[in-house]
Structure 1
Amino acid sequence: MENKFETAIELFDAANAKDPNKEIWNGKEYPKEVLYGMRMSEKLAIFAPDASLAVKLAVRCQHICRWEVPRDSYEMNRIGYLTWRRGLYKFHAQKASEILEKVGYDQIVIDGVKFLLQKKQLKKNAQTQLLEDVICLVFLDFYFVNFSEKYTEEKLIDIVQKTWKKMSDKGHQFALKLNFSENSKELLGKALS
């Protein structure tokens, strides 16, 4: 089982290594989605170290090959954004299931990962909620500062409030302990007041 898991992670990372988008982290260049997958796995290991196998697999491939479905291939409005997101859920689930089948996982594991990647029963299913918490924590910890440079304060407050609504109480408590910049702390304070 351990070997299968490691092989799946290697194959997820190999697929994401084709990402043409790059990001520098601690002086090293990474394909963007490889770095995202690593951050997701690391955050899960701290936040919920005894997570199920399906969650551990889903966090690593949550954005698998995302660049293949660019945002601008859909209308640049709210409806286009939501349609893009729903399409991505199915796209990621399909990509992940192909890799998991190749590795030799049974249908129960594959279906569990697909269920999670499609964000089914958010707020009702503990595993889907755990995945969503990790997504939100990784966003707040690693992407919020750069994100905040692109938008008005009003828009950022709205984004933080929407992110916060998706999270569990445990996720909220963990998020409040993240090492935010002074600007980010101020924005969070305004969004959560």
Structure 2
Amino acid sequence: MASKFEQALAGIDDAHRGDPNIVTVDGSEIPYELHYANKMTKYLEKHNPSASEALKLAVRAQHLRRWEIPRSSYPMTKPGYFSWRTALKNRQADIADEICRNCGYDEDAAGRVAALVRKENMKRDEECQVLEDVACLVFLDDQFEKFEKEHDEEKIVGILKKTWAKMSERGHELALQIDMSDRAKGLVTRALSS
């Protein structure tokens, strides 16, 4: 019989499989959010191989059912963007909490997963910082090259500076190991030197 941790991971991945957005990875088609969750787990293992169950579940649950609330459902302004992000993380935390409880986690343990998904106490919670590092690493590894083609250089450099500022020294170390195109590397170098 599967442990509650294994059941919760499976429940989270089942939710990811509902993503209608498909990507091709190593010749196989897979829902984008499942691909994203796999990347999050990969970077968590690099960052902190002895991570707690709560952190492993929170990392895996980062984008739970995100596609159901598109960015376009909020005003296309900076406040609209932050409102959208807040609504997403609260909803994702609630779904993760429910999955964990349904798999046998008690209120405190499920609540801890939800708190990490919401990134509560970012400055004081070491696990929360690890989760933030992992999300930034996945952005740099998996989303940055597409993102940088869609925006002007100044905006990209600004985003890179903000991303770098959110990360710990360990996050920086791992970020500098990511294989990037020459253009992307140049933008990162520019952001870090200015």
| TM-score, normalization by structure 2 | 0.96
Q: How far did residue 3 of structure 1 move?
A: 1.6
How many angstroms apart in 2 are the aligned matches of 1:141 and 1:81? 22
Gaps of 5+ in 2: none
Taking only the aligned residue pairs, the percentage that are identical comes to 44
Size of the aligned set, in residue pairs, is 193
Aligned counterparts of 1:89 and 1:142: Cα–Cα separation in 2: 20
RMSD: 1.3
| Alpha-carbon separation, structure 2, partners of 1:2 and 1:143 | 33
Q: For residue 34 of structure 2, what is the aligned residue in structure 1?
A: 34
Tell me which amino acid in the other structure corresponds to 1:67: W
Contact 2:132–2:166 (Cα < 8 Å) also in 1: yes
Alignment-derived partner of residue 111 in structure 1: 111
2:59 paired residue number: 59
Equivalent position amino acid for 2:103 in 1: V
Q: Letter of the 1:84 partner, please give it.
A: W
* Matched residue type, 2:68: E
- What does residue 91 of structure 2 align with? 91
Question: Does the aligned pair in 1 maintain the 2:141–2:179 contact within 8 Å?
Answer: yes
SS at 1:149 equivalent: helix
Residue aligning to 2:163: 163
TM-score where L is the length of structure 1: 0.96
1:89-134 residue CA offsets vs partner (Å, 9 max, x unmatched)? 1100111111111101111211111111111111221011010000
1:23-73 CA deviation, whole Å, 9 max, x = no partner?
112221111111111111111111110111111000001100001111111
Matches within 5 A, 1:77-156: 77-156=77-156
**How many angstroms apart in 2 are the aligned matches of 1:78 and 1:124?**
26
In 1: Cα distance, 2:134 partner to 2:68 partner:
23
Amino acid at match of 1:49: P
